[in-house]
């Protein structure tokens, strides 16, 4: 019983974090990008093992803090904003640059005040899927210990 309690405590303290990646410019998939234009809310965040560890999403906050976050995506200039609003989590807001590649990769850069977007060369690459008129998913793949893991952000049109 003691071993089980100790193992549970150790698993509860595991934190997964995916570092920023260097980004390269690639061809944009306009049809999907235009479909994502508008105002969105993350209505759910799923990841296996969420009861055992925390995922520091985008080096901003725990992935579960992104539930209820509001995203404004502008497709004609690849810009937008996002803001965390979940009770019990720190408030956070940022300008973003984003685009969708022909491989259905959602490339995301957080732009700090005073930064020139073209000078920001690192960010995050997620997989965009299940795109409909009123919803889509972004999947972030990462390493958790020696295993591959993924976090799925479910977006709903506002």
Planar angle of CA 108, 109, 110, nearest 5 degrees: 125
Q: Residue 80 above 80 pLDDT?
A: yes
Using CA atoms, how far apart are residues 75 and 37, in angstroms rounded to an integer? Answer: 5
Among 13-17, 26-30, 128-132, the minimum mean pLDDT is found in 13-17
Name the 3-class secondary structure at 118.
Answer: helix
pLDDT digits (tens, 9 = 90+) for 27-68: 778 899 999 999 999 999 998 766 667 788 999 999 999 999
């Amino acid at each position: 019983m003691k071993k089980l309690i100790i193992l549970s405590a150790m698993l509860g303290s595991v934190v997964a974090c995916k570092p920023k990646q260097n980004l390269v410019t690639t061809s944009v998939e306009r049809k999907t990008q235009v479909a994502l234009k508008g105002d969105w809310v993350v209505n759910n965040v799923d990841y296996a093992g969420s009861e055992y560890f925390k995922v520091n999403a985008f080096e901003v906050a725990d992935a579960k803090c992104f539930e209820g976050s509001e995203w404004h995506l502008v497709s004609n200039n690849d810009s937008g904003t996002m803001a965390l609003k979940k009770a019990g989590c720190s408030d956070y807001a940022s300008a973003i640059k984003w685009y969708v590649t022909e491989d259905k990769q959602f490339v995301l850069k957080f732009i700090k005040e005073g930064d020139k977007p073209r000078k920001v060369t690192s960010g995050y690459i997620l997989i965009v899927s299940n795109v409909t008129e009123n919803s889509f998913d972004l999947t972030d793949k990462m390493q958790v210990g020696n295993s591959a893991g993924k976090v799925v952000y479910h977006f709903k049109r506002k």
